[in-house]
Amino acid sequence: MMFPHRNIHKYTWTSPNGKIHNQIDHELIDRRWQSSVLDVRSFRGAECDTDRYLVIAKVRERLTVGKQAALRFYRQRFNLRKLNEPEVREKYQIEITKRFAGLKNLNDDEDVNRIWENIKENIQTSAKESLGLDEFKQNKPWFDEECLGFLNQRKRAKMQ
């Protein structure tokens, strides 16, 4: 047994004379969710007017974000590979230097969050102008009309 329990918590059936015990009821779960099962045992106290005992599994809930939901939160990604080219790197450094020269005139009394927004906006604008945005690669669907044609051809061959 996968989970160590006393024998009385492993039995799921008792014979009418009460002398024979067996484990005949099981929990089935898909292999990919196998690591989510924390414990499985039978509970003898649940009286349902039957010779079987109640089998309960404790399962951990795991939430994931699907690809479609993740695409909604897509951020702008800059093409950082262009920084390996010396002329692009120099252009980016000049752009950043110009933008931060304007930030030196800011008062110390200003809100910290507002100053941060200015810095962030300057960095993003400089990167967008000199590096450009990285293209998001979307995979082509593998099941297309050609696959559908082969599938229909196979079905017709099976029917014959």
pLDDT digits (tens, 9 = 90+) for 116-146: 888 888 888 888 888 888 776 777 777 888 8
Q: Of 78, 86, 54, 85, which is closest to residue 129 (Cα–Cα)? A: 78
Q: Of 102, 94, 153, which is closest to residue 126 (Cα–Cα)? A: 94
Tokens coding 117: 């927004």
**pLDDT band at 1, cuts 50/70/90?**
very low
**SS3 of 2, please?**
coil
Residue holding tokens 């200015």? 118
Contact 132, 82 (CB under 8 A): yes
Interval 75-97: pLDDT, tens:
678 888 888 999 988 988 888 88
Q: Of 46, 131, 122, 123, which is closest to residue 84 (Cα–Cα)? A: 131
Q: Of 33, 76, 41, which is closest to residue 58 (Cα–Cα)? A: 41
Sign of the dihedral through C-alpha 141, 142, 144, 148: negative
